[in-house]
Structure 1
Amino acid sequence: MQPNILMLFPDQWRGDWIAALGDLPLRTPNIDALIARGTSLGRAWTPSPLCAPARSCLATGKRYGEAPVLHNQMDNPFGTDTFYTRLRDVGYQTGNAGKSDLLKGGDSWGATGRHVIDGTDQLAGLGFTHGMDSCGKKAAEKILKSGAVEPYTQMLKARGLEAAFLEDYARRPVSTPDRPPMADWISGRIATPPGAFAYTEPAPLPDEAYNDNFVGRVALDTLQGFDKGQPWFLMVNFPGPHDPMDVTASMLDGWDEVTFPLPRLRETTDPERQQRIRRRYAAMIENIDRWIGRYLAHLEESGQLGNTLVVFASDHGEMLGDRNLWKKQVPFEPSVHVPMVLAGPGVPSRGHLAGLPANLLDLPPTFLALAGAEVPADYAGFDLSGWLGGGSYPRETTCAGLGPWRAICDGRYKLVCGFRDDLFQEAQQFEPFDPESFDDGLLHDLHEDPEETRNLRAALPGVRDRLLAALREEYGPTLPSLRRRLADAATL
């Protein structure tokens, strides 16, 4: 019997920020329950720690450099072969709710969120039969200013909230205008967080108009609208807990006195500001967990929970002040490590498997195998269905890349090649990888040095050479075409 698949996919959720995984004072009872009755893959990585590349890799089953999208200014071409299309072709209803980040470049959402261009439904072209695509947080500001049409911002306009939203977001700038290199942040020469993090006043919106709640409601409506006589796949793309720290006043209830560990490897001269930032990140997490509880309750009440595979993951992590860095794009664990939890039919109750290497790219072949669909031979991930059924684990290492760097990890040892802290953080995505970077880099023992401070490349030549050979095999064939594609994209 083909299982239903509910994929919960928030944006920028760190792999270690779940209550069940440690001693952080978080409130994630529904995710904790999924881990308790299912399996959590402890060293799961994103294929690329940036929204559009990560989601393109996931959709196509391809590693970074082979998937169509290399940076956040590229879209998936119409007709891209996706696992959503392949699920649809074997009888699934396929739904998307929220920011897919697959078609955001042309501002073509439209009021329905279906990206209809010249009468052609672009969202259907990616394989989605149900639901809609909507924008993320800062994209909403851009769209409101440009006059483009999109579902979430149309709702803000209809409720007379456009001006309040724009006034609030003007205080939450994403970036630094002078584009300093990351080294200035890591060294502490720049100490104040970007405005999207530093400004922590509550958003002036009613709860039902908050972006995550808008997406949450659309997802629940889509879930309730599926034909129960036909299998379905639903991907719920919450915009949070992505920056800015724009929670509503009610979302902050009960968080004022909660104390979190301060950022690591950072001279913390502003501890109360750091606490405010972390409380708001946690409040967004708690709000999304509530929606997960609503979905699970609906599935149980409608008799579908027993035949629904529930997957919780995220496109990438969040530095959250560690190393004095924010957001993502870097190869450090807070950026590349993501949650990856599976629960439901055929998933054993293994709990959290710390250190087990995994990748978001393992989800497409697993979904297709469970659905009885053909798994393309060129998919970069591993089908985990056999392992879930009691077989051997198929993966030895996990990989990630973006712009000039590539990284690989076997669960304990991690090799990074090509990372450049002389670049502005947002510029990482546009730089090509230099093959000579394979000749240098960083090797860390994540068991003994989880903060990645000691380079063991010279001290452990055997480990270095083993991981370097695997990294070359993983990415070497992609490099010539990748350089051409980056050059072509730069001329557009």
Structure 2
Amino acid sequence: MSDTAKQPNFLFLFPDQWRWDWLGCSGYDIPVKTPNLDKLAANGMRFTQCRTNSPVCAPARAALATAMRYHHCGVPNNGHNLDTSRDTYFKHLRDAGYRVAASGKTDLQKHGIWKGLDGWTTAMGQLGFTQAVNQAGKHDAVNAGTQKPVDPYMAFLHEHQLAQVHADDYKRRGQILSSDRQGNDMKIDPTPSPFSSEHHTDDFCGRAAMDYLKQWAVGEPWHLWVNFPGPHEPYDPTVAQLAEYDGVRFADPVNPGPVANDHQAIRRAYAAMITGIDDWVGRLIDQIQKRGEMDNTYIIFASDHGEMLGDHGRWNKAVAYEPSVHVPLIVSGPGIKPGKQCDALVELIDIAATITDLASLAVPESWDARSLRRLLLEDATAAHRDIQLSGLMNWAMIYDGQYKYIRTDNQADELYDLHADEIECNNLATHLPQIAEQLHERLTQELAR
């Protein structure tokens, strides 16, 4: 596009490990406070059926970046980096003249930990970014030790003589640094962070994003990807954030495990982290308003995967249950009618095609992602996908809008009717073998493409 002033901007808010139902506007009876995201949904469209292509950080983010499903994205787990030669939607934006910036935990180059003390490495440029303050994940930064920082956040803590405080806090939590990455039941410590907002990791990410919005010239097109490390565990909100939930009671986990945990304290801490990030959502949007760019900016909110929060005796993610694979998605911006809800089956990777399409760039036919443009700007009831896929290592999942089928190596197949059994407690694989076989065949076909 020759007239760059007409190219829209994109604020892509992408926190880590945020369940789809933990929003004030989700329609679920969960007393979590998200006033700014609720306002964003009221001004735009909330998607009720978005699922991640893989419920672990690095594969989910690689799939999003490449606009390819899990089995095509080239990152099977957190032990692999995204090959910098791969096509990414970031490269398409950069080549069209966009500033392409990131703050926070991108996890596109997770393996190896080193992120650069200023958050910039050659790999980030090769992936399509023009600027970045790329943080290591919560565990990665601390696991690297306190002698030599490996990312800008730990470097920041070193400057303030707080790196050891941070490491000691994680060590005290015990289970965090040696937690079961498959999310099995474990003892959880939900006590607040020793840091105030001045030194908390989510605030560090938010400030880096804010700095970009304050520094950039108005009128030059930009894409800002804000990757808050929270509400990923450890459940460590600030003391002030946690105080907002004094006396608030949440529903207990579905089918909890045998380990004795204070589920109310854990859920209050998770909610407090969410509210802290929501506050940053409001601040960043306010800054866009100050720039006079609201009429030309699309704001997207989503997450890489969910959080089990003790449901089915599990924590973290990495499984095919809804709390792990079902993610929030809100989009607001020019041409999107306010207060809309879309129930179409949407995959996380579709965000990549959507941003590319809304930027008036060609969406490559080779991508697995499909643009949401028609749903957003024309008809929220239009056909989009008839199935969704997700997977990780030894399992793959297909969902057709009612039935979810899960195939796991060396284990019995699972089939759930999410219309009748949203909490996935009744495996129907042996009761409805015809449906299970149909979905098995479709899954096999899709994975062979």
Q: TM-score, normalised by structure 1?
A: 0.85
Q: How far 1:285 moved relative to its partner?
A: 0.1
Post-superposition offset of 1:3: 1.3
Q: 1:305 to 1:104 in 2, by over 3 A?
A: same
After superposing the two structures, state which structure 1 stretch, 314-323 or 14-23, moved more. 14-23
Q: Which residue of 1 aligns with 2:353?
A: 365
TM-aligned CA deviation for residue 460 of structure 1: 3.5
CA gap 1:2/1:180 in 2 versus in 1, 3 angstroms: closer
Q: Which residue of 1 aligns with 2:263?
A: 274
CA contact (8 A) 1:130 1:222 kept: no
Q: Confirm or deny: 8 A CA contact 2:395 2:408 kept in the other structure.
A: yes
2:241 match: 251
Match of residue 84 from structure 1? 90
- Once residues 102 and 236 of structure 2 are traced to their aligned partners in structure 1, the CA distance between those partners, rounded to angstroms, is 24
What is the CA–CA distance in structure 1 between the aligned matches of 2:223 and 2:323, rounded to whole Å?
A: 29
The residue number in structure 2 matching 1:337 is 326
**Aligned residue for 2:414?**
442
Q: Which residue of 1 aligns with 2:7?
A: 2
SS in 1 for 2:81: coil
Distance 1:175 1:293, change over 3 A: closer
Superposed, which structure 2 residues align to 1:82-121 within 5 Å? 82-115=88-121, 121=122
Structure holding more helix per residue: 1
| More displaced 10-residue stretch of structure 1: 103-112 or 252-261 | 103-112
Q: Of residues 375, 382, 407 in structure 1, which corresponds to 2:363?
A: 375
Residue in 2 that maps onto 1:489: none
Structure 1 CA distance for aligned equivalents of residues 16 and 50 of structure 2 = 15
Paired residue for 2:203, among 204, 209, 213? 213
Report the Cα distance in structure 1 between the residues aligned to 2:244 and 2:31, rounded to whole angstroms.
12
> 1:442 and 1:68, CA in 2 relative to 1: closer, same or farther beyond 3 A?
same
Asked whether the equivalents of residues 161 and 205 of structure 1 are also in contact (C-alpha less than 8 Å), the reply is no
- C-alpha spacing 1:441/1:95, structure 2 compared with 1 (3 Å): same
Residue 393 of structure 1 aligns with an amino acid whose one-letter code is A
What is the rounded CA distance, in whole Å, between the counterparts of 1:177 and 1:46 in structure 2?
A: 25
Question: Percent identity between the aligned chains?
Answer: 38
Q: Secondary structure at the match of 2:346?
A: strand
What is the 5 A alignment of 1:56-455?
56-115=62-121, 121-145=122-146, 147-174=148-175, 185=184, 193-194=186-187, 198-266=188-256, 270=260, 273-354=262-343, 356-391=344-379, 392-418=382-408, 441-455=413-427
* Cα distance in 2 between the residues matched to 1:131 and 1:261: 39
1:460 aligned partner: 432
Secondary structure of 2:251's counterpart equals coil
Three-state SS of the structure 1 residue aligned to 2:448 is helix
Aligned-pair CA distance for 1:36: 1.4
Give the letter for the 1:314 counterpart: S
The Cα of 1:461 is off from its aligned counterpart by: 4.6
- Indicate the SS of the match to 1:208: coil
1:301–1:55 distance in 2 versus 1, CA, 3 Å:
same
Q: Distance in 1 between matches of 2:290 and 2:8?
A: 17
Q: How many residues align?
A: 441
2-side partners of 1:456 and 1:207: how far apart?
Answer: 47
**How far apart are the structure 1 equivalents of 2:130 and 2:447?**
34
How far apart in 1 are the matches of 2:152 and 2:402? Answer: 44
Tell me the amino acid that sits aligned with residue 387 of structure 1. L
Q: Distance in 2 between matches of 1:420 and 1:339?
A: 31
Matching residue's letter, 1:171: R
- 5+ long unaligned stretches in structure 2: 1-5
Cα distance in 2, alignment partners of residues 275 and 178 from structure 1:
20
Uncovered stretches (5+) of structure 1, i.e. residues with no partner: 116-120, 422-439, 478-492
The amino acid across from 1:347 in the alignment is: I
Taking the aligned partners of 1:305 and 1:180, their CA distance within structure 2 comes to: 40
Q: Distance in 2 between matches of 1:318 and 1:56?
A: 19
Per the TM alignment, residue 102 of structure 1 is displaced from its structure 2 partner at its CA by: 0.8
Moved more, 17-26 or 167-176: 167-176
Q: Give the Cα–Cα distance (whole angstroms) in 2 for the partners of residues 165 and 176 of structure 1.
A: 13
Cα contact 2:395–2:407 (8 A) shared by 1: yes
User: In 1, are the aligned partners of 2:146 and 2:163 still within 8 Å (CA)?
Assistant: no
Report the Cα offset of residue 267 of structure 1: 5.5
Q: Give the whole-Å Cα distance in 1 for the aligned partners of 2:246 and 2:228.
A: 24
- How far, CA to CA, are the matches of 1:200 and 1:451 in structure 2? 24
Once residues 96 and 181 of structure 1 are traced to their aligned partners in structure 2, the CA distance between those partners, rounded to angstroms, is 28
Change in 2 beyond 3 A, CA 1:466/1:2: farther
- Alpha-carbon distance change, 258 to 419 in structure 1, aligned in 2, over 3 angstroms: farther
Aligned letter for 1:291? W
- Give the deviation of 1:234 after TM superposition: 0.5
Q: Which amino acid in structure 2 is aligned with residue 48 of structure 1?
A: S
Is the partner of 2:145 in helix, strand or coil?
Answer: helix
The alignment yields a C-alpha RMSD, in angstroms, of: 2.1
| CA positional deviation for 1:284 | 0.3
Deviations 1:407-437, CA, capped at 9 Å, x for gaps: 111222111111677xxxxxxxxxxxxxxxx
Shift of 1:88: 0.8
Shift of 1:266: 1.6
What residue number does 1:34 align with?
A: 40
1:331 and 1:419 in contact (8 A); partners too: no
Q: What is the CA–CA distance in structure 2 between the aligned matches of 1:10 and 1:362, rounded to whole Å?
A: 17
Paired residue type of 2:97: G
Counterpart residue type for residue 101 of structure 2: G
Counting only pairs closer than 5 Å after superposition, residues 6-17 of structure 1 correspond to structure 2 as 6-17=11-22
Q: 2:346–2:384: 8 Å Cα contact kept in structure 1?
A: no
- For residues 51 and 178 of structure 1, the distance between their equivalents in structure 2, rounded to whole angstroms, comes to 15
Equivalent residue letter for 2:156:
M
Structure 1 residues 343 and 180, CA gap change in structure 2 (3 angstroms): closer
Retained in 2: the 8 A contact 1:50–1:328? yes
Could you tell me which amino acid in structure 1 is paired with residue 369 of structure 2?
Answer: G
Give the drift of 1:146.
6.0
Partner of 2:441: 469
Distance 1:269 1:135, change over 3 A: closer
